[in-house]
Amino acid sequence: MTLIFCSTFKLSLSPDPNFFAYTQKSYWQTSRESAPFRESNYQPEVFLTFPYKKENSSLKAYKVSLLHESNGQDGEKSRSWNRLYLESFFQFSNLFVIPRVWYRIPEQERNDDNKDIQKYLGYGDLTLFYPYKKHTFELKLRNNLRLSEDNKGAVEFNWTFPLPSFLNLPNSFGYFQVFSGYADSLIDYDEDINKIGIGIAFSR
């Protein structure tokens, strides 16, 4: 059995509103002697967020973004794609509902590392986010909407919670994640993965 840990780094640049973000997910294959990285996924993006200020509206904002995603590898292990996406933010009391749809920017066939990636990731996802006291609960759902044996999807649940006081780590939280489905990482986007993760989140 191979044991893999995932660490996530996120960065947003201001002034307000933010217009650039960078996310990096690194997968540590700790069961190997040298504990090499199995893969790192890089996600820089540029975006515009538009507040929606109509009184008594559940819609709070929407976001338009250009997102690049790649793993920095070459040859058969190379993975990359570019997307335009539209994301909306709805609020119902303490529950936030965040639907997102995307369009993959076409590439020349000879340069396409993952021609069938939308077969596994589909064309969008839906996130439900619920803060409760010092806890946050997030459920992300994704499906390719193919009503056949080619139906693929994923479910991801994230919970952040306060760390014990004796740890005394400012702006840090415990982190618990459950994932089941496709495209947890680019290198295994076409593999059905089930995983449970724990760790520390330095932002949320």
**Annotation says 165 is catalytic:** no
* Residue 117 DSSP SS3: helix
Across the chain, the runs of DSSP E, i.e. the strands, are 4-13, 20-29, 37-51, 59-70, 80-92, 95-104, 124-132, 135-143, 153-162, 173-181, 193-201
Catalytic residue among 7, 68, 88, 172: 68
10-to-25, 48, 140, 191 alpha-carbon distances in Å: 9, 17, 18, 25
**Annotation says 70 is catalytic:** yes
DSSP 20-54: EEEEEEEEEETTSTT--EEEEEEEEEEEEEEE---
Catalytic residue among 7, 57, 58, 70: 70
Residues with catalytic function: 68, 70
